[in-house]
Amino acid sequence: MRIRTRSLPVGDYQGAAQGAQKPRDTVAGVGIAVSEVQCLRQEITTRITLMNAIVALELTALGGGLAIIGRPTYVLAALAAASSFLWLQWMEQSLYTYKIAAYLAVELAPLLSQLAGHPVLGWEEFLRRIEGNGERSRRALYPGPVRRGRRLMHSGRYGEWYVPLLFAFTPPLLLTLYAADTRDSLARLLPACSAVGVMWLYTIISFVLIMRDIKVLNHAISASKVS
């Protein structure tokens, strides 16, 4: 018995092969994106841990400076310079953390939402909505009809200023204690205070610029829409 077969045109073979390949490509793409999300989340955790360690070092520098009052106080100038350096490191880690969060919300969240068929990775955008206060926070917490008696949370970011304030006031405090010590010569006092003061001023300017960049990143995250 002869079995009849029908040959497919070359285009049909290519279409069938592409149709079989597309699901595999989609699964592979999702796997790569998920792995990237996990790596970035781990990097955020690592950087936040490093930021906490830097704050601990800053408290150590401040406590050490207060502990050596009454002894040779030229160490206070070194601690003031170290404090400014620690603040620069803390700001760098903080800025990179916001950059990663922006990448997750602006780039990866829409991509994975499209592949998954439903919104995913909406935490960064949701966090900024509930901290937005007012009507924006209400819509995030209570997406249903407007009803009276529903309380809104206030933004917790105001409490985060204690760390920048710690970094900002430690160098001038230590320098003031150093300058108040009359046991050190003026020829040694002026260069040390000038050098540390310039470094502290540079750190303040860097903080203003980084805060502007963080504001831009937060705005981009808030404006992102997970499809």
Query: pLDDT category, 148, cuts 50, 70, 90?
Result: low
Q: Which helix (H) or strand (E) holds 190?
A: helix 186-223
- pLDDT above 70 covers a percentage of the chain that reads 75
- Please give the pLDDT value at position 153: 64
Backbone dihedral region of 149: left (phi > 0), alpha (psi from -120 to 50 degrees) or beta? left
Query: pLDDT category, 217, cuts 50, 70, 90?
Result: very high
For the chain, the domains span: 29-223
Q: Averaged over 152-166, what is the pLDDT?
A: 74
Contact (CB, 8 A) for 89 and 54: yes
Backbone dihedral region of 121: left (phi > 0), alpha (psi from -120 to 50 degrees) or beta? left
- H helices of 104-179, in order, are 109-116, 123-130, 134-141, 162-179
Give strand pairing partners of 71.
69
Q: How far apart are CA 224 and CA 166, in angstroms?
A: 33
Contact (CB, 8 A) for 133 and 222: no
Among 82, 94, 78, which residue's Cα sits nearest to residue 211? 94
- Please give the pLDDT value at position 149: 63
**pLDDT-wise least confident of 72-81, 126-135, 163-172, 215-224:** 126-135
Contact (CB, 8 A) for 171 and 80: yes
- Please give the pLDDT value at position 124: 83
Q: How far apart are CA 30 and CA 188, in angstroms?
A: 62
CA triplet 200, 207, 177: central angle to 5 degrees?
Answer: 30
Among 80, 71, 63, 64, which residue's Cα sits nearest to residue 184? 71
pLDDT of residue 6 exceeding 50, the answer is no
- Please give the pLDDT value at position 4: 44
Query: pLDDT category, 94, cuts 50, 70, 90?
Result: very high
- Please give the pLDDT value at position 67: 87
- Please give the pLDDT value at position 87: 96
- Please give the pLDDT value at position 13: 35
